[in-house]
Amino acid sequence: MSGNVKYLGVLSREDYAKLLAKASICVLPTYGETFSITLLECLASGNLVLARDLPVLREVAGNIPSVNFAQSDSEFLAKLENFLDIAIKSDEFYELSMRSIERSKVFSKDVILERLKTQLLFIAHEKR
* Higher pLDDT among residues 2 and 29, named by residue: 29
Q: Give the structural domain span for 94.
A: 13-126
DSSP secondary structure string for all residues of the chain: --TT-----S--HHHHHHHHHH-SEEEE--S--SS-HHHHHHHHTT-EEEEE--HHHHHHHTT-TTEEEESSHHHHHHHHHHHHHHHHSHHHHHHHHHHHHHHHHTT-HHHHHHHHHHHHHHHHHHT-
pLDDT per residue as tens digits for the range 47-58:
999 999 988 899
* pLDDT at 71 (0 to 100): 92
* Higher pLDDT among residues 88 and 111, named by residue: 88
* pLDDT at 1 (0 to 100): 42
pLDDT per residue as tens digits for the range 21-64:
999 999 988 877 666 788 999 999 999 999 999 888 998 899 99
Residue 5 covered by a domain: no
Q: What is the CATH number of the domain that holds 79?
A: 3.40.50.2000
Residue 4 covered by a domain: no
Residue 106 covered by a domain: yes
| Counted domains in the chain | 1
* pLDDT at 3 (0 to 100): 62
Question: Is the model's pLDDT at 2 over the cut of 60?
Answer: no
Residue 66 covered by a domain: yes
* pLDDT at 8 (0 to 100): 83
